[in-house]
Structure formats: structure tokens, C-alpha cells
Structure 1
Amino acid sequence: MMRKLFFSTLALLAVMSDADAKVRLPHLISDGMVIQQNSDVRLWGWAEPGRNVNVTVSWTDAVSKAKAGKDGRWETTVKSPKSGFTPLSITFDDGEPVTVSDVLAGEVWVCAGQSNMEMPLRGFGACPVEGYNETVAEAPNHPGIRFVKIPSVMSMTPLDDAQCEWKHGDDMNAVAECSAVGYYFARTVTSAVNVPVGLIMANKGGSRVESWLDRDNLSRHTDESLDSMAMVKGFAWDFLRPLVWGNGTFHPILNYSVAGILYYQGCSNVGDPGNRYSERLKMLVEQWRRDFRQGELPFLFVQISPYIYGGADGDGGARLREQQFRASRIIPNSGLVCTNDLAYPYELKQIHPCRKRQVGERLAYMALSRYYGCGGLICESPSYASMRVSNDTCYVKLDNLYDGLSRLQDIEGFEVAGEDRVFYPARAEYEWHKGVMVSSDRVKHPVAVRYCFRNFALGNAANLGGLPLFPFRTDEW
């Protein structure tokens, strides 16, 4: 009896040893994943300390090796193939093999920010996404789109893993949960250049830019309290808290190899003074680029849409948009998408405008033009360049018109002021050799012009690609 018990115990210990030896992977590295094509893709996980891990792939005979450290962590890289729609596999072996299947090589983009990026195709309560049924009905025509949602989790310390799973964008039941902006971006890219697109959705509704900054940046460059109890007392709404969303929701993806970052955030920073927002956004981009370890990753972001905020005619939202425009000028390899035309008049009090397709497509046009060699696309919105005043008329020159403005007269959204700093609605007409001619019978000696520089102001000026003119002001009042 004792002999039988002895051997039974040995067998149990052997099974336990095998179980302990089995390599563990982060949830991001799992069936259905998309890996960044033509790159050194990082792969990582955990195993028994000191144990060797061999990584083999279905597209080459090469073997990548790693050794688990004292903490059990290991990391290696594999050369990924050119993009394709044929499923691949990756096997991790530390004595007991684990295989990840249904892997595609393509383009991987992060969908970061707050609720307008998080907003799924099915919409939020009382916040629909325009064109939902049509989009879902034709989703099976786009089999190369995959997405994974990182759970919105707070943590005082950086997390290395997240409970998540990759889903197929051509699954009509699953696609409703995909970020609407992200999906339309992916659909446009995969249609244009015929590559699979993977979306990693790491975002949190209502978050501030400070929500994503790390402890070092927050302690050195802000006055945000990093004490957990002080955070709870200072921010009744948890989505406004600094540090914790970056630690819990973004940190788990930092080892993944990606093509770039899409970012839609800013509403919760309306009211920030001076250049604080643009400087902190620049700091965040530098932090993410450092942590992804892939050089100057593309950073494409979205200007916040018209919304009432403290009042439709106020300028808190306009000043935040101005800060976003400034950020696009001081962050290398970045691009900003204008959305001034993407709110309906009845969406005055709607923080989540329904036209997400155009947002995703405009991000895609920028990516396709800049990074995928797609010539012929108009991807930049017009912006203010200069102004001169002659008598009672201001002559405004604009950049990125692509040879013309969308209309010659009945241009809405311009205002003009004299030295009294009182702005009045203005007439605006366009002539290609003069620019936009802005005037008002109520301002005989104009000194400043503004375009849609209010919380909720819908203009109609656009370039030949239909992209709207960025809101601007020529004054510094």
C-alpha cells in the first residue's frame, strides 16, 4: 500500500511539474491575433525561472530562443512575413508546447483615448452610430479585420497582462463591439491596400490626458496627486483620475509590435489653461514611443467635435481645439483630423456625435497617404496661414486647399472684430488669388478674424477633398 502511495505521489508531482513548466502567454498573444508584417515582432510570456523557451513559426524554419529570468519572464523576437490572409501559427515550447493559431500578418494600430474612440459600432445609450445596420450587414466582405478590447482597468502599478481576446471583424455578431472609429479606419485601409488590419482598443471614456501619463511624468511635470486616497477624494468620477488608466489599461499592450497609434481624446481637458494640454499630449506621445521601443511611431489624432460645454457661444472647447492644432505642430510624425463638420445642429448637447465613419476614414486617408504610398488622396484639412487688412476687409490666406475652396460664396462660420474686441458675423467670399475676403458692415476697421472659434459653431468651408477648415483665430485675446 505504501509502495503504491509512493508511486502515486511521484506521478502527481510529475504532473504538477509539467503543469508548472507549461509556458504562459499574455492574453494578447492568442488565437486570432494580427502581428505586424515585415518586422521584428516581440513575443513574451512567463515560464519556470531558468527554463529555455523555443519559439517556432509556420512561415519559416528559424527558431527563436529565450530563457526565463528569475521572475519567470522571457522575451524574444521573430521575423514576421509580408501581409497575407492565410492563417499562420506560432508554437512556444518549454518542454510542453503551446500553439497559437489563426494568426494573420498585417498592420496593427492602437485605438487610444476616451469615449469617442471607445464608442462601439452599436453606439452607446441614446448615442447611435450613423449607418450601423449597413456597416454590420456588409462586414463579412472584410475578412481581414481583427480587433481586441483591453478591459478598462485601474491600477496603481503597471500591469503586464489583461483579460482579453481577439475577435473577427467579419463576424456580424462580434463587430458591433468594435470601436466605430477604429473599424472604419481598418475597413478603409484594408480595402485600399489589401492587408489585414488588427486593432488594439486601449481606451477609457472620460479620461484626461493625465490619465495615461506614467508616474515619473506626472510627478516631475504636473501637480497631480499620486496618492490613491487623495485621487478618490479629488475625483469622484474615477475616469478623471491620473495614472491609473495608463497602468491598468495601456501598459499591458506596450510590448506588442504595432504600426501606429490612433488617438481621440480631449473633452475632459476642456478648460486647461495656456499651452498645458498640448505640452502634456506631446509628453504622452514621447512616453508611448519610448515604451513601445519602435522609434517615432505614427501618431494620428482627432480634434474634438463641436459641443455645448458651458454654453454654445463660449470658447473653452475652441481653445482646446486650438491646443490640439498646436500639438500637431510640435509632435513629430503626427497628424490631426478636423471634425468641425461632423456634428449635426441637433447634436448641440451630444458629446458623442453619430458620424464616426468619416472620422475613421479621414484617419485612414492620412495613414494611407503618409505610410502606405497611396498617392492622389487629399488627407490634410485647410488651416489658417496669414491675414492682411485693407480698408474694411480682411484677406485670409489658407494652407492645404489643394487648389481651391469648396465654395466661392455663402461661406458660414467667419466672424470679425475691431479694436473693441467684439465679434460680429461676417460675410466671406473666396477668390483664388485673394483668399477668403471677410467683412462686416458693423466693423469698419477690422483687426481680427475668427472661424468657428466657439464651443458649438458649424462652418461650411472645406478644400477640394471635402475636408473642413480647422477652426482658428488671428487674435490672442
Structure 2
Amino acid sequence: MKYPFLFLSLCAASVLHADVKLPALFSDRAVLQKSERVPVWGKAEPGESVTVTLGKAKATTTTGADGRWRVFLNLKAEGAEPRELVVQGRNRLVASDVLVGEVWLCGGQSNMDFPLSAFPIAKTEVPNSTNPQLREFRVKKATSAEPLEDVEGKWVIAGPQTSGTFSAVGYFYGKNLQKTLQTPVGLLTSCIGGTFIETWMSREALASDPGITEGANRARAERLAFDTYVADHKAWQTKFGREDRRAADAPVFAAAGIDTSDWKPVMLPGALDTAGIPEGGAIWLRKTIPVPSADVVLGKGIDLFLEGIRDYAEIYWNGRKIGTSDLTDVAHRYGIRGNLVMAGDGVLAVRIFNPAKGAEIAAKGRFQGNHYMLKGEWLAKVETALPPLKGEALSALPARPTATPYDPQNVASYLFNGMISPVIPYGMRGAIWYQGEGNWNRGYQYRTEFPALIKDWRAKWGQGDFPFYYCQVANFQARPKKPGNDWQAELREAQSMALSLPNTGQAILIDIGEEWNIHPANKMEVGDRLARIALAKTYGRDLVYSGPVYSAMVVEADKIRLRFTHTHGGLVAKPVSSEPNAAPLVRNSPGGELEGFAICGEDRKWEWADARIDGDTVVVRSAQVPKPVAVRYAWSNNPLCNLYNGGGLPAGPFRTDDFPMISEKNKY
């Protein structure tokens, strides 16, 4: 009886081996770029003939010795109605409801990644979002030391049940394009929050500048060494029975309102054995957090930074799990969504599992929330205790590397390998990008890295200088009391410098940020400003897509006159007002009509300046600077500024000087 079964199994394995296979991108509900040369690729048996058709477009090829194949379809004349993408080899694959239209890659970090459902506008937008011609493919997070061949994800059609999962920026960008162009729009979204630009760059891009290469190579080496340690540590846990074995469900320890009379006080950050906690096992920590009133955080969410955790962790807010981490994680950043944050007392609970010894929250890194510190007295309780290490188990315990690496998602090229390389060369019109907060104090290095990323992506896609439109990071943190140097101002300048590359555009967001929320809620405006750039520069629509751009200056005795381009409709001093729930507004330049201008003399001491519009110029002066040499505008993390053009778009930060930057020595 066994032999027929074996024969059938071998036959089945042979057929499966010969099957034509497609990447996840080429699946039901996909959007393909309307173009003369659209790549479709996959795998099959070496030497197998493969034919691909969509509507009237058809192409045939033969797989190579490695089983890979690629064809190019001419979809320039295809209409917008749904079609089937058919791939025929020894087997037949069919992707249904495939559209031909405009495809855009949406890349970056959290401000691109945050879904529409995370913002208040979702309440009115999502129920009315039905649009079968707007679709998104969300690339699942994947990090890798080497380029992967495929990604996980699926195409999703916009609608009340799905639009909340779309990138908020991507959604409004795509909605605007689809409505204006009356053509299908596909969003290929590949982004992860809290990431550096270096992780989105290929090794070739990183190698283009020796100033980047050294740090990138070190980061990869430290990560690989740590990954080896993690693998050895997990094998050690299995061998010596030090695995995690739960004694009770999480609500017993994490829920609000439980009896904590038998919990022990412990000061954190610090070692837990000071409270008589066993050195190994599962330990619960909890702290009651007095959440500030609604005018501070209600509806905005909370960012938690618990960087001192060294082992396995689970994080709970009022009994609800909000995040996990294991040995491979270093940053330990967790987000509590705004809909989970209520005014009053909240309970933060942390379950730490230490399979070895020395359970602690180390006194290094950040241990805080975005509105309050977490340092101080917590309560602790043991869930399960492991016996003290001794003998062979102690001697065989792997030694933790002395160098603490970046989390995998921030190791140079790891996200490029996992989330960008596998989607190349999917046909697309261009890319939109929102990233930079992760590089907040490395603006000088960003000057080199950002253009290198753009040029490298374009080279690898092989579509020429495809459009690359991006967001300048929004204003954030406290208003400055005095003008001077600021980290984010230097980063924004580096972003603006990428406009020297062809076919680029920048959406200025210096007026839509929130003082203590790095994820401003007005994502509709972000998407609309990006869409303006694309509609004007890529699709030829006649509309204003840029605010005033500084072009030249002239010193006139005790004042400086500034000239601008993109003054469509003339320069405008927009009325200034305080952000909702923010401190009362204090003007820096009560004698002028424009805010945000600073001026200095040869001593390089900056003073707030009185600035007024004079035609298409701005005249800047200060009684404290009788012989001015330079001007800066909106040059701070969160400037008060109000220069716009008649098209309603803001001027971006700029400076007329070339003084040394405070970020010049900071490297990845």
C-alpha cells in the first residue's frame, strides 16, 4: 500500500516544482501601470515557455537556467475596466479584477505608515470612501541581511471596511489623483515607523559615500554578531529547560482595578533583585499613570520608550496588549493609540521574561512617555520563577555582545533588502516619501544620503528619473524663545537640497505640525500638497504646487531685502494663531507683519527681526543689528512663521548664511 502513495507523492512534487509562480504583487485586484513597458516576472521550470496576457497585451518568454522569467507588456492602450492577468506555462495562473492606471510607491517612516483609522478624520472619511478605482498593496514588515525575492501583502480596494488600513497620506494622495485624473490609482505602500534613512538604502547606495560606508558596515557587523548570540541563546534555553511557561493569563496581572496588595515596590530603571525578585523567570511590573487632561493627550495617543528592557517583554495598557519584543529588539518603542487614551488614571503593565539572570530595566536610554517620565516607583510581582543558574547551564550561557546593535529595522540596508528590493521593478509612475524624523540630529549627513537613495532607486528600477516627491518634516516640539541653531532646521535644509535632482518636488509642512505630537493629524493636507506637485509636474495640470522659495538677498544699509520665486498671487502674511489647546501665542516680532525671521551681523548673534512684505520681496531689519549680514526664516524645530503665497502654500525654512552646522559631526 505504501508504494502507490509514494509514487503519487513524487508525481505531485514534480508538478509543483514545475508550476509557474508569481510574486504577491501580481494578484487579484492589482493595479498595473499604464505604460508601454510594464514588467511581469516570476519563476517556473528551467527552459519552460511562459505566456502572459492582459486584455490585448501579450508577451512570451522562456525561463532561464535558474527558473526565472520576465516579460514586458505594452499597456499604454488598455482602458480602465477590470481585466484578467493570465500567466500560462505548464499550469495556468489567473489574477482577476486587475486594473491599469497610475501606480505610486509610498515610502518612509511612521508619518507615511500611520493608517487613516488613527486620525479623527476617519470618522467621516472612511464611511464614504467606497472607490473601486483606488487600491493599496501594503508590504508586510520584513528585515533581511540579504535581498529577498518576494514580499507578503495583498491588494485592497478602498471602502468603508478597508480604507481605515490605508496609509493616511497615501489615501488622500491617491484619492486626489484618482478624482482629478479619472483613472485607477494603485498605492504600493512600503514603510515602517521609527526608521532611519540608512535602512532604506541599498548597499550600493551606502557605498557611494565613504562617510556613510564605515557606519553602515559596523551596524551590519554588530547586528549579525547579535543575531548569532540570539540564536545561541534560544538554543541554550531549549537545552536547559529555560523556556517561558505561563502560569496565568495576562489580565490577572495587567487589568486595571486588580488587587495589588501583595505586589512589591521597586524603583525603575534598575535591577529587580533589589525588591527580592528572582533573577530568572517571568516578572510583572505595573504603574498607575495619571493621564493629563484631554487638552494635552486625549485623542492623540502616547509614545512609550522603554529602552532599558533587555529580554522578552509584553506591554499592556489598561489590560490591553499594545506591543511585544524579544531578544532581537533593542529600541522598545510602543505606541498607545489615541482611542485607547482617556483622561484619568491609566495602568501601564510590563511582563518581562528573563530566561537567564539579572532581570532589570537598565539605567540607560529613554525610559519615558511623550508626556511624562516613567522613572520612579513601580509595583512588581513574580508570575513564574526559574531556579538559579549553576553547573553546566551557567557555564554554557552565551555571552551577550558588548556592542548593542540597532534593531533589525534600522540596520543599514535591512529594510531595503526586505521591503524595497523585492518589489523592484514593479511598474510605477513614481514615488512619494515621508521620512526624516529618525535622522533628526544628522541633517548634515542626510544631505548626501537622501540624494543617494533617490538616484539608487531610480537606477535599480530602470525607469529613468521617475518622479520622486517628498515631505519636508513638519514642525514639532516647543516654540523657540530665541533664534539660533536647531537640529530639525538642518534636516529640513538637507531635504530641500534634494530638489537639485531632476524630477523632484517637496511638500512643505512647516505649518501643520503639532507641538507635542510627532504624528500631526492633518494628513489630508499632506496628501493634497503632494498631489498638487504630482498633478502639476507629472500630469501637466495648471495649478500652484509650491509656496514662496527664497532666491536672493541684497543688503540695503540696516536692512536686508529678500527675493522669492513661486510667489503666485503675491506674497501673503497669513494671520497667526495658537494651536488648539496650546499655550497662549507670544509673537516674536510684534513690530512686523511676518513671523519667523531672524537676522544677524558679523558677530553671528541672531535676533528676531521685524519683517514686512514689499511687493514680491520681504524687507527684514532689527534695531539690535545695525549692520546685518544674514537672515534665517523658520529656522527652528517648531517655528512660528506665516509667509505664504496667493495660492495658499507656505514658504519653506531657509537661511542666507553658510555658517557651520551643529550636525556636521553626527554620523550613522
How high is the TM-score relative to the length of structure 1? 0.90
**Which residue of the other structure, out of 521, 544, 561, is the alignment partner of 1:378?**
544
Does 1:265 find its partner at 2:256? no
Question: What's the secondary structure of 1:224's corresponding residue?
Answer: helix
- Structure 2: gaps (5+ residues): 227-402, 575-591, 660-668
- Give the Å deviation of 1:110: 0.2
Partners of 2:67 and 2:481 in 1: CA distance: 56
Q: Structure 2 matches for 1:15-54, cutoff 5 A?
A: 15-54=12-51
Partners of 2:23 and 2:40 in 1: CA distance: 9
Residue-by-residue CA offset, 1:41-72 (whole Å, 9 max, x unaligned)? 11111112221112122x21x53112222222
**Contact 1:340-1:458 within 8 A present in 2 as well:** no
Question: What's the secondary structure of 2:144's corresponding residue?
Answer: coil
From the superposition, tell whether residues 225 and 385 of structure 1 become closer, same or farther in structure 2 (CA, over 3 Å).
closer
- Give the Å deviation of 1:81: 4.4
- Give the Å deviation of 1:317: 0.3
Q: Structure 2 matches for 1:274-289, cutoff 5 A?
A: 274=444, 276-289=445-458
**Which residue of the other structure, out of 92, 98, 107, is the alignment partner of 1:103?**
98
- Give the Å deviation of 1:418: 2.2
State the partner residue of 1:126: none
Question: What's the secondary structure of 1:156's corresponding residue?
Answer: coil
Partners of 1:83 and 1:470 in 2: CA distance: 40
**Which residue of the other structure, out of 101, 104, 112, is the alignment partner of 2:107?**
112
State the partner residue of 1:468: 650
**Contact 2:103-2:429 within 8 A present in 1 as well:** yes
Q: Structure 2 matches for 1:111-190, cutoff 5 A?
A: 111-123=106-118, 129-140=119-130, 142-169=131-158, 171-190=159-178
Question: What's the secondary structure of 1:349's corresponding residue?
Answer: coil
Question: What's the secondary structure of 1:250's corresponding residue?
Answer: helix
From the superposition, tell whether residues 301 and 225 of structure 1 become closer, same or farther in structure 2 (CA, over 3 Å).
closer
- Give the Å deviation of 1:135: 1.6
**Contact 2:208-2:452 within 8 A present in 1 as well:** no
The total of aligned residue pairs comes to 458
Question: What's the secondary structure of 2:82's corresponding residue?
Answer: strand
Question: What's the secondary structure of 1:191's corresponding residue?
Answer: helix
Which shows bigger deviation, 157-166 or 439-448?
439-448
Which shows bigger deviation, 416-425 or 466-475?
416-425
Does 1:340 find its partner at 2:542? no
Identity of aligned residues (%): 33
Query: Counterpart of 1:432 in structure 2: which amino acid?
Result: G
Partners of 2:405 and 2:6 in 1: CA distance: 54
| Structure exhibiting the larger radius of gyration computed from Cα positions | 2
Residue-by-residue CA offset, 1:393-439 (whole Å, 9 max, x unaligned)? 22111111114012386221112222232222222211216x11112
Residue-by-residue CA offset, 1:149-205 (whole Å, 9 max, x unaligned)? 111211011011011100011x21211111111111101111111011100011121
Which shows bigger deviation, 219-228 or 146-155?
219-228
**Contact 2:139-2:419 within 8 A present in 1 as well:** yes
- Give the Å deviation of 1:208: 1.7
Does 1:56 find its partner at 2:53? yes
Which shows bigger deviation, 420-429 or 146-155?
420-429
Does 1:86 find its partner at 2:81? yes
From the superposition, tell whether residues 312 and 367 of structure 1 become closer, same or farther in structure 2 (CA, over 3 Å).
farther
**Contact 1:130-1:356 within 8 A present in 2 as well:** no
Cα RMSD of the aligned pairs, angstroms, is 2.2
Partners of 1:237 and 1:23 in 2: CA distance: 36
Partners of 2:443 and 2:641 in 1: CA distance: 26
Partners of 2:216 and 2:623 in 1: CA distance: 52
Question: What's the secondary structure of 2:643's corresponding residue?
Answer: coil
Partners of 2:517 and 2:481 in 1: CA distance: 12
From the superposition, tell whether residues 338 and 242 of structure 1 become closer, same or farther in structure 2 (CA, over 3 Å).
same
Question: What's the secondary structure of 2:15's corresponding residue?
Answer: helix
State the partner residue of 1:424: 607
Which shows bigger deviation, 216-225 or 259-268?
216-225
